Structure 1
Amino acid sequence: MAKIGEGDARWIVSEREDGANVNAWHWQEKDVLPWAKVRLQDLLGNQVLADSGSLSLKTGADVDVTGDAIINNRKKKLIPSYELQVKGTWSGEVRDGDTVESASGRFELPYVADENADEDPELKVSTSSDSAAARRLKEAFLGSGKQVFHEHMRTFVKELQAGGPSSSAASSKGALELPETDAAIKAKAEASRRELEAKKAAEAARRRAEDRASTGRVEMTERFYARPRDLFECFTDPGRVQAFTQSPAQVEPMVGGKFSIFGGSVDATFTALEAPSRIALDWRFKNWPDSVVSKVVLSLEEPQEGMTVLRLKQTGVPKEDRFGNGDVVESTAQGWKAQIFHRIRAVFGFGLGM
């Protein structure tokens, strides 16, 4: 034990002439806010959030980052301390046939901090107008776009916890590396930007492929002032089919038989025929992606004499056609109603009951 007034050498950190910070014993700080601004610009700027036939959405090029970001080093242990606010803009288009509506707005991550590092930060999205297109784009941003944002923010936090701008935050002597030069930061940012652009392109291609591969369904119920057999024959008798379609038709009413209408725009095959109550077909449109075939089932019931209820169920309808146009499910439903059911009522006088 040391005497009063004397220090025990084991507990004294002696001054060193070489000024080395042995084993990073002393607390050190490094300001990484410049790196954070560049990195968040790379991750969130010019980000494609949606790109389909009916809707496209992306963030603006400039991302504003304010606040503080520091890496602390204590005995080679990195402790990030940060509190940031991130703001930017977005723009997009909604397409409906030949009609294109544009809208824009702003996004904000009001509080990105070390205390909520394990949570996805709050995302606020605003629009510059109250149009239908703006509302739809905002919903897309807060839907699939939000997932993309949170994925990139998790990447940012992981890199920050690993030391930010340096892959190795401590030198061989345990001290933090010197801040990178502006040129080095720009070069690294450009490399990261190119890598991110390649990832964005790959992700956009993957989403387009998923959109083309994803399917929806059409279900509707129609009422006719007719007997079930009358309606059954509207889909199995070639003369009746040609009468309401007003175009050449190929109808072979047998399992495996052909059903082609509207000049080949519809190419189908009968898979079940149960007169007069049920018809099933493998059904596709000419403009659908290759090999995509939907399943159609028409069920006919007569709850009261002289009135038939037709129930349509169609599954496996692609959400995009082979040209990248969206809203295929909606246009398919409208086609059934306007081009088939309404024509059957009008040509054969089966009434307009719905």
Structure 2
Amino acid sequence: MSTWNKHYHWKTKGCTPWAKNHITEATVGKTVTVGKSGHVKVDRLSSFEGDVELGNRKGKLITIYDCSITYAWSGSSDDGTEASGTITFPEMSHEVEDEGDEYRFETEMSTKSSAAANELYDAVRNQLAPSLRPTFHAFRQSLIDAHAKDLGHDSPSASGAATPTTTTTTAAPAATSTTSAATPAAAPAAAAKSSVSTSSSDVRVSSELAVSISDLWDLLTNASRIPMWTRAPAQFEAKADTEFALFGGNITGKVISADAPKQLIQKWRTPQFPQGHYGTLALNLTEGGDSTKLELVLSGAPSGEEESVEKNLETYYIRGLKSMG
């Protein structure tokens, strides 16, 4: 490659097929011992969605990737009980690495619950799934080592690597954390506006959670338990006219009403909202036979922010709670 091309030209290489093969080879087959002779194992990569690219701009390597990965797992206990299910890492991305965050995962067991099956499931959540994280943290360097020469870099480590920067405001990205759940990072407040155009549609996300309604209410409102799923400090009291701060102060607002354990209504904002603007967030809890439905409904989102708000609620509330297992 010419000196001009190497230092001033933008060039990219698609690496998604390689990435899927690399992740498969590095993670499928991992096994954790349970008891004396039992085990749980990653059987296969059942889903790999997203894109992976390596770029070269002005002599610097740019890693660009954002993938969702799902595995099938199975296990067998000392007494011969078998269990199976899935492990999902919803976001393996350069942004997680940039923020120094930990990779979040979600687990499910499709086998009927029993003492032996639950022991296997605990091993999946506490040992097997976390054991996959080092591969994801090493992925950026593995990508560079495998493909840098194709972009004219004979010595990848000497060139450095980065990820693209952007001036576009998005939903609160993951902040620094060393746990399985991410937290939204602070961002400069938007300039004050005399009036804010708001969406005419409510933003809604919901999920069935394997927890009682009283326990879910406590997780959402007890300041000592909120950090269990937000992985960040929290200030909260389920009392009308009380101000709160979640995710280390990146979500703020005021409680409007609290009807335990069924509904919590708040004034609610993210750092991406125009200065001084709040939406109204309703958290509705409905208990079923063996689970509780949590529905989050936000009205008054700034126009154009609906998709970001939906992603924010899904990522930091629903996935945060699911990450507890």
Please say whether Structure 1 and Structure 2 have the same fold, judged by a TM-score greater than 0.5: no
TM-score, normalization: structure 1? 0.39
Q: Give the number of the structure whose alpha-carbon radius of gyration is greater.
A: 1
